[in-house]
Structure 1
Amino acid sequence: MEITNVETVQLQYEMEEPWGLSRDREVGTRTAAIVVIDTDAGITGIGEGVGPEPYIVERIVEEKYAPRLVGEDPLDIEFLWQTLLTDDLYWDQKGQGVAAASGVDIALWDIAGKYYEEPVYRLLGGDAGGNGQLKAYASDLFWTDTDTMADRAAEYIDRGFAGVKTHLGRGIDADEERVAAIRDAIGDAALMVDMNCGYDRPEAFRAGQMLEEYDVYWYEEPLSPYNVDGLADLRRKLDVPIATGENEYTKWGFRELFEAGAVDYAMPDTMRCGGITEANKICTLAESFGVVCSPHCYTTGVGLAATMHVMAASPATQWLEFDPTDFPLYESLFASSLEVSDGQVSLPTDPGLGVQLDGATVDRYRLD
């Protein structure tokens, strides 16, 4: 079997209301770069690379990586990973070169699963949890008025999710007002707080002390991802666990976090850190350091599926990040209906990732 073509499909969804993030930032669109790899056996693989700019991922995939891939055996996944990321004189250690390679790698695993007629997680070692499901938390509470955030959090708990995540980072007093309201609304359910790198070290410490009072489950990205020493310092001084890693790349980047003692919940993004191949290794590395992996995953259904397969195969993982909104590029991209019940998401059973590019959906949201 040989690779015959590699291309990227750019998708974009205009949100009805923009996300509110830390430091008064807002995001009004959701974009995606879907990597499609064809073979002479008639098997097509689908992957996703998170850049976040999809046009850059497309350029790297189609102009830099495609010439190296065409004619190669898509089942030689480890060889091709090395070809893309470690065979150059000047390596792409981090950034969008790795993100683009992540999309390629995920598509290769999709091909492998379809070739062997098995879900990808079975090729990675099978269902480590043994029950065919992953526990999920609802990840949607972006910054808005306090009552709306609290009401929405309560709705997700009523739908069966055991935890919710909110995005703060606009001043400790305003943050506390929302944390208090959400805690009151959800009772004893898990409350994760994401600061989206919104604070410097003194502010992050004061915010962390505040979060301790509300029994917050984890304190996500309080600092810039460059500030590994600062994250380690916060972890030593605070009782609330530190979660970080969505902006980190490869096993070498995560080794730095683990050796520094900078993280309790590691959050590799499969679509960014190096694909399924590398995310699987990061989970194994985390297990050896006694660190829990809760992968970052806020993307399309392709990325969700890839994340689920990685998590299913690792005993080091907990908490699937799940988008509970009506995002049209999410569940519609699964080949079979995604089963979500009482905060548990069932593993895909179709060969490969279990995803497909729905023609009508792609036509509607494709960027020309």
Structure 2
Amino acid sequence: MPADLPTDLPGTGALAGHWIAAVDSTRVRSRYPRTIGRNARLGAHGDGPDVLAITVRTDAGASGWGLYEGPEPDLAACVGRPLEELFDPALGVIDPAALPLDIALHDLAGRILGVPVHAMLGGHGTVPVACYSGAIYFDDLDPEESPRGLDGVLTACAADWDAGYRAFKLKIGRGNLWMPADEGFARDVEVVRAVRDAYPEARLLVDMNDGYSPERTIRFLDAVQECDLYWIEEPFAEHAEGLRAVREHLNRTGSRVLVADGEFDPDVEQVLDLAAAGLLDVLLMDVLSFGFTAWRRIMPRVREAGVLASPHAWGHPLKTLYAAQLAAGLGTIPVVEAVPGRTEGVDATGYTLHDGAITLPDDPGFGLHLGG
């Protein structure tokens, strides 16, 4: 049995004898607790999107389900095939035809083996799993007819603090689209300082959504150096020259701020190379569109590079729970992105948020129940 798989599992042979009898899908809707506004690249994000949920059933009566984001899948491609040809508990999906079922098959295997997904992945991380609210957008700029200013951002932070979050990721980059460049930069700095003053004990992160330049990033780091940022995310489209300038500045000033990237349309090999060169500290490929199996496969290279991971999870609250299972299973993920809200028709009450961390259920699979 591979070393990363716990030796006390019932055994991978438990998947033998299960054939895929049916694969079906439905759409589920996420609901945010408030309307989410703009960031440096995009307009208002609304009150929650819908997404495809895929359920896999075997001839032995087992089932598992999970979300899918991507091109329209061929749901019939795996029907009639043995489960063990599609999925290995030690590796994940082993047939590319089954990748749209990535989350569903992890859930299914965990249920058949009788263990939570994070245990199937090795249980190398820490539980509960630290998280941050990723829902602090440009609330100061809305509504357009009567912008709320700083109070809009601080109100969003207060709501998420009351919900149990103890870390905030602040969207910045207002000068990229929505304000004159210098005025937007000044507002970015003002917002970060105001949130730090209001929440001196919170962990603060910022996300530029590629709305900055290397020069502006360095200027921003100087402007907020007293704010004790945990990381800066996606300051500009990844390129070694700009990241090297930022790294040299961080080293020169003795800053501990981490540089996180790899979320938007990543060239994964390039991202890994940048990490190995010491230019990135945290890799952010998405938990769904990049995938659970893909994260399992590259994590040894992440560790070899001496960096951290934090799979992008924005969009759906369930993505946060998947990322938490990945963190608890693989380790090397110190904090996950949390999406405040709920998913209609899904019972996720096994997961609880308290004092900035997510407690995971002991239920097999992901411990999520569709139709609950």
For the aligned pair, the TM-score class normalised by the smaller chain equals 0.7 to 0.9
Q: Deviations over 1:280-307 (max 9, x none)?
A: 2333322221112222222435423321
Deviations 1:308-353 (A, max 9, x none): 22100223111122223xx2317x6245432222222111211111
**8 Å Cα contact 1:284-1:316 kept in structure 2:** no
Report the counterpart of residue 40 of structure 1 in structure 2: 59
The structure that has the greater radius of gyration is 2
Alignment correspondent of 2:3: none
- Per-residue Cα deviation, 1:199-234 (whole angstroms, up to 9, x for no partner): 233333333333434221110111125x35433442
By how many angstroms is 1:165 displaced? 1.1
Task: Describe the SS at the equivalent of 2:49.
Answer: strand
| Rounded Cα–Cα distance in structure 2 between residues aligned with 1:69 and 1:118 | 24
More off after superposition, 235-244 vs 150-159? 150-159
Alignment partner of 1:112: what SS?
A: helix
2:316–2:339 contact (8 Å) kept in structure 1: no
- The one-letter code matched in structure 2 to 1:26 is A
Pick closer, same or farther for the CA change 1:356–1:49 going to 2, 3 Å. Answer: same
Q: Give the corresponding residue for 2:179.
A: none
Match of 1:25 in 2: 43
Matched residue, 1:264: 281
* Matched ranges for 1:138-287 at <5 A: 138-145=133-140, 146-157=150-161, 160-170=164-174, 171-225=184-238, 227=239, 229-238=241-250, 239=255, 240-247=257-264, 252=269, 254-273=271-290, 275-287=291-303
Q: Residues 3 and 70 of structure 1 are in contact (CA less than 8 Å); yes or no, is this contact kept in structure 2?
A: yes
Cα distance change of structure 1 residues 243 and 357 upon mapping to structure 2, 3 Å threshold: same
Shift of residue 142, structure 1, vs aligned partner: 1.0
Distance 1:112 1:82 in 2: 13
Measure the CA separation in 1 of the matches of 2:347 and 2:242.
Answer: 40
Output the CA distance in 1 between the equivalents of 2:92 and 2:357: 34
1:77 aligned onto 2:87: yes
- Measured on the aligned residues, the alpha-carbon RMSD in Å equals 2.8
Return the letter of the residue paired with 2:314. Answer: Y
Instruction: Name the % identity.
Output: 29
Q: The residue matched to 1:179 in structure 2 has which SS? A: helix
Distance in 1 between residues matched to 2:328 and 2:235, nearest whole Å: 28
SS in 2 for 1:230: helix
Q: Deviations over 1:146-201 (max 9, x none)?
A: 12212432454455533111111112111011111111111132111111121233
For 2:154, the aligned partner's letter is A
Question: Secondary structure of 1:32's partner?
Answer: strand
Q: Which amino acid aligns with 1:36?
A: T
1:221-272 Cα offsets, whole Å, 9 max, x none, are 11125x3543344233333321112235696454233234331122232212
Change (3 A) 1:175 1:336: closer
Q: Indicate whether 1:329 and 2:343 are aligned.
A: yes
Q: Distance in 2 between matches of 1:7 and 1:38?
A: 9
TM-score (norm 1): 0.79
Q: CA deviation at 1:13?
A: 5.0
Gaps of 5+ in 2: 1-17, 141-149, 175-183
CA–CA separation in structure 2 for the residues paired with 1:180 and 1:305: 30
Q: Distance in 2 between matches of 1:31 and 1:245?
A: 24
Say if 2:120 is the partner of 1:123: yes
Question: How does 1:129-140 map onto structure 2 within 5 Å?
Answer: 129=126, 132-140=127-135
Contact 1:257/1:263 (8 A) holds in 2? yes
Q: Deviations over 1:15-40 (max 9, x none)?
A: 66342211463222523222222221
Q: 1:44 to 1:300 in 2, by over 3 A?
A: farther
Higher helix proportion: 1
User: SS state of the match for residue 106, structure 1?
Assistant: helix
TM-score, length-scaled by structure 2: 0.78
Alpha carbons 1:69, 1:80 under 8 Å: kept: no
Give the 3 Å change call, closer, same or farther, for CA 243–126 of structure 1 in structure 2. Answer: same
Rounded Cα–Cα distance in structure 1 between residues aligned with 2:267 and 2:41 = 28
Residue 112 of structure 1: how far off its partner (Å): 0.4
For 1:229 and 1:11, locate their aligned partners in 2 and report how far apart those are by CA, in whole Å. 42
- C-alpha spacing 1:80/1:137, structure 2 compared with 1 (3 Å): closer
Match of 2:180 in 1: none
Output the CA distance in 1 between the equivalents of 2:310 and 2:237. Answer: 19
Residues 345 and 200 of structure 1: is their aligned pair in 2 closer, same or farther, counting only changes over 3 Å? same
- One-letter amino acid of the structure 1 residue matched with residue 153 of structure 2: M
Is it true that 1:306 corresponds to 2:310 in the alignment? Answer: no
